[in-house]
């Protein structure tokens, strides 16, 4: 059989890590809901460090990719690897972009000033380009936020995820643990330099196709993704009781931590974020991978959270655009807005689950049969 289509037996996956990915994704939605009341001021943001969930996702992704594929290259070409990653990631990106296109003209407000000036043909062109994940230059912005994916903002992180996967397949998979350790150390230095010595004191950004934002995006991706690869290869896991609850609490605390320091002491917050990304997140993953789930209910909960984690992340933001426009236009107070925000949070979960079951899983199963010529039992999360 051609190596591109070789049957790769599924590995048992880490149930707790599936659940933690879902926990972090739910915090991302909550973070974006609360962001509507911050007036663009990062010092006022509630669930202040919710954006660090993206860095957690990068680290978790590197860990899972290395676990799933490091020992499978004898059966798999680079193109075979890319096809598997496209099958896993691309279908849900497309449906998230379609949702963004459907809701686009309902999101118009002063904050999104370009929406009212955007003809339908241009929006549809942006949608088609969005299906490919090709980043749009600032000159093609149709919203006013200069996003590389203006119909579905979080797709910027998927763009860097693909770059990380390409780097892994082309170069990094061949690194010894020692060489990879040096690479990860240098990437950590780059991260610390930006967060502690940089102009913002945080890692917020990465979503525009310009020099500043691309620098942020690569800085955010390089350390966590390849630290995850290194962690997987080292196999140094931590086994403790109650791992899922402990790790969930650690995620909640780190993401909800208020901003540290003020505008005159930006380095303090930068140091906090560096410590979280470089030390705390790897510890969480080591505990999660080393722990075990006890009981059918806990297993089912982690399975559900893992199933909806990527769908909710890549489909929720068009709802956030709509919600933000409503809050800003009507000057909605937080007390009233949070009730609607909670309904949005529930609705985002429901939409993600519906998209997963009625669209994503059937499409991925079809693509596996068509592209890989293999049964659909291969673990969908790898």
pLDDT of residue 298: 87
Q: How much is the pLDDT for 379? A: 45
Percent of the chain with pLDDT over 70: 95
> Does some domain include residue 259?
yes
Most distant CA pair in the chain, distance: 62
Please count the structural domains in the chain.
Answer: 1
Domain for residue 255, yes or no? yes
Domain assignment of residue 379, yes or no:
no
State phi, psi for 2 to the nearest 5 degrees: -60, 140
Q: How far apart are the first and last CA of the chain?
A: 21
Mean pLDDT of 50-70: 97
The stretch 97-111 carries a mean pLDDT of: 96
Q: What is the mean pLDDT of residues 362-381?
A: 74
- pLDDT over 60 (residue 126): yes
Question: Residue 232: inside a domain, yes or no?
Answer: yes
Q: Is 374 a residue whose pLDDT tops 90?
A: no
- pLDDT at position 161 is 98
Domain assignment present for residue 380? The answer is no
Assess whether pLDDT exceeds 70 at residue 117.
Answer: yes
Judge whether 352 lies within some domain.
Answer: yes
Task: For residue 129, give the nearest of 215, 121, 84 by alpha carbon.
Answer: 121
Confidence of residue 39 (pLDDT cuts 50, 70, 90): confident
Q: What average pLDDT does the segment 308-315 reach?
A: 98
| 71-84 tens-digit pLDDT | 999 989 999 999 99
Q: Which domain holds residue 175?
A: 3-372
pLDDT for 380 equals 39
Percentage of the residues of the chain whose pLDDT score is greater than 90: 88
Taking the CA atoms of the chain, what radius of gyration do you get in angstroms?
A: 20
- The answer to whether position 210 is within a domain reads yes
pLDDT for 296 equals 87
Q: Which residues, 6+ apart, have CB-to-CB distance to 205 below 8 Å?
A: 212, 213, 216, 217, 220
Distance, in Å, from the CA atom of 308 to the CA atom of 348, rounded to the nearest integer, reads 10
Q: Using pLDDT thresholds of 50, 70 and 90, give the confidence band for residue 377.
A: very low
Strands of 19-107, DSSP E: none
Tokens of 165: 């996967």
Please report whether residue 319 resides in a domain.
yes
Overall average pLDDT of the 181-187 stretch: 98
């Amino acid at each position: 059989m051609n190596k591109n289509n070789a049957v790769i037996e599924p590995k048992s996956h880490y149930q707790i890590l599936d659940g933690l990915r879902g926990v972090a994704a739910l915090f991302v939605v909550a973070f974006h809901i609360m962001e509507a009341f911050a007036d663009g001021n990062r010092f006022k943001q509630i669930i202040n460090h919710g954006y660090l969930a993206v860095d957690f996702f990068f680290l978790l992704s590197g860990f899972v990719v290395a676990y799933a594929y490091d020992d499978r290259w004898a059966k798999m070409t680079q193109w075979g690897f890319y096809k598997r990653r496209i099958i896993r990631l691309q279908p849900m990106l497309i449906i998230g972009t379609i949702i963004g296109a459907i809701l686009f003209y309902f999101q118009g407000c002063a904050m999104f000033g370009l929406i009212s000036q955007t003809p339908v043909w241009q929006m549809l062109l942006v949608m088609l380009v969005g299906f490919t994940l090709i980043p749009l230059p600032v000159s093609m912005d149709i919203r006013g936020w200069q996003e590389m994916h203006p119909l579905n903002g979080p797709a910027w992180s998927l763009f860097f995820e693909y770059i990380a996967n390409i780097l892994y397949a082309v170069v990094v998979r061949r690194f010894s643990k020692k060489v990879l350790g040096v690479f990860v150390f240098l990437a950590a230095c780059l991260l610390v330099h930006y967060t502690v010595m940089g102009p913002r004191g945080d890692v917020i950004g990465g979503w525009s196709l310009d020099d500043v934002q691309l620098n942020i995006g690569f800085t955010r991706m390089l350390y966590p993704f390849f630290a995850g690869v290194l962690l997987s290869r080292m196999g140094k896991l931590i086994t403790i009781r109650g791992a899922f609850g402990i790790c969930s609490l650690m995620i909640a605390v780190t993401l909800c931590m208020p901003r540290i320091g003020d505008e005159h002491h930006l380095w303090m917050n930068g140091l906090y974020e560096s410590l979280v990304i470089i030390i705390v997140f790897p510890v969480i993953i080591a505990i999660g991978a080393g722990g075990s789930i006890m009981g059918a209910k806990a297993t089912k909960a982690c399975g559900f959270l893992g199933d909806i984690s990527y769908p909710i992340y890549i489909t929720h933001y068009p709802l956030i655009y709509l919600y933000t426009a409503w809050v800003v236009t009507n000057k909605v107070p937080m007390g009233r807005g949070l009730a609607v925000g909670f309904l949005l949070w529930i609705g985002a979960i429901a939409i993600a689950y519906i998209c997963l079951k009625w669209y994503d899983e059937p499409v991925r199963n079809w693509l596996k049969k068509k592209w890989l010529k293999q049964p659909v039992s291969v673990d969908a999360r790898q």
